[in-house]
């Protein structure tokens, strides 16, 4: 194959990515309104969106969810974070707590909207089995206290397969299936992709755009720089492979989310 043809195909592919990005910027608010059944006088105004992101550890917010956070903040949505552990696996809990607050500030979430849970039954440990009952009760109390209309978290594979990520998904699924979530609250899970798609960086964007999902959040070069700066706030976690992740992971550029189906309300279990 001629080198000129390869260059031409590559340039066309990059042009496609650019088109997808600009189209996404115009349509994201409409997608959110349709998904959450909210109304606004302006397409660019997301002030009626009150979003809660539920994560397991400090650094999950920027490592996996940065595109969603950045796009929601740009739309003027109220974004909150509930982190269910301090990340104290290596006895660095206090330092990681501050790193999380610094990362959230970079992403646009003020410290007043960040809640960090420190519970002995919710340790940062891939071998620990978190109680679905405890996690679900913690989440639903937070939802009701702040009247959130969208909750975002991991899917059943937890992106990285971490047991604590999966436990959060199980807890949210439990809330959904037992009808404990308010009627106006939408539950979304971050789609886990295969290894190849995960590590081809922004080149994966067309696949994420074309494959079915409830919501697709894409950031450009400026958003990527914010996501990278947030990752660099977690200095205790910056081992060599984290730099590779920052460079090659598609989660630094795009998030695709699916709706978690909800069961009948006020379900009684005998």
For 213, half-sphere exposure in the C-beta direction (CA atoms, 13 angstrom radius) is 23
Nearest to 197 by CA among 239, 166, 152, 159: 159
Residues in a beta bridge with 189: 153, 258
Q: What is the pLDDT of residue 4?
A: 78
DSSP class per residue in 243-264: HHHHHH-GGGTEEEEEEPP---
d(CA 180, CA 140) in angstroms, rounded, equals: 7
Closest CA to 66 of 212, 261, 210, 232: 232
Q: Please report, in tens digits, the pLDDT of each residue of the chain (270 residues total).
A: 688 788 888 888 888 888 888 777 778 888 888 887 665 555 557 888 999 999 999 999 999 999 999 999 999 999 999 999 999 888 888 999 999 999 999 999 999 999 999 999 999 999 999 999 999 999 999 999 999 999 999 999 999 999 999 999 999 999 999 999 998 899 999 999 999 999 999 999 999 998 989 999 999 999 999 999 999 999 999 999 999 999 999 999 999 999 999 877 655 443
């Amino acid at each position: 194959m001629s080198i000129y043809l390869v260059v031409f195909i590559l340039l066309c592919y990059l042009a496609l990515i650019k088109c997808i990005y600009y189209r996404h910027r115009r349509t994201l608010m409409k997608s959110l309104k349709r998904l959450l059944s909210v109304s606004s006088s302006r397409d660019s105004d997301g002030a009626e969106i009150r979003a809660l992101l539920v994560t397991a550890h400090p650094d999950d917010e920027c490592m996996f969810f940065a595109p969603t956070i950045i796009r929601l903040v740009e739309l003027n949505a109220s974004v909150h974070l509930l982190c269910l552990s301090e990340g104290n696996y290596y006895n660095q809990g206090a330092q990681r707590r501050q790193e999380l607050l610094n990362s959230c500030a970079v992403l646009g979430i003020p410290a007043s909207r960040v809640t960090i849970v420190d519970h002995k039954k919710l340790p940062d440990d891939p071998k620990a089995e978190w109680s679905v009952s405890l996690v679900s009760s913690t989440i639903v109390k937070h939802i009701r206290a702040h009247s959130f209309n969208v909750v975002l978290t991991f899917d059943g594979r937890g992106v990285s397969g971490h047991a604590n990520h999966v436990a959060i998904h199980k807890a949210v699924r439990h809330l959904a299936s037992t009808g404990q979530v308010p009627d106006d609250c939408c539950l979304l899970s971050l789609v886990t992709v295969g290894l190849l798609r995960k590590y081809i960086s922004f080149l994966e964007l067309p696949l994420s755009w074309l494959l079915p999902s409830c919501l697709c959040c894409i950031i450009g070069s400026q958003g990527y720089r914010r996501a990278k700066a947030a990752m660099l706030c977690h200095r205790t976690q910056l081992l060599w492979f984290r730099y590779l992740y920052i460079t090659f992971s598609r989660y630094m550029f795009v998030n695709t989310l699916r709706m978690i189906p909800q069961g009948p309300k006020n379900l009684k279990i005998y």
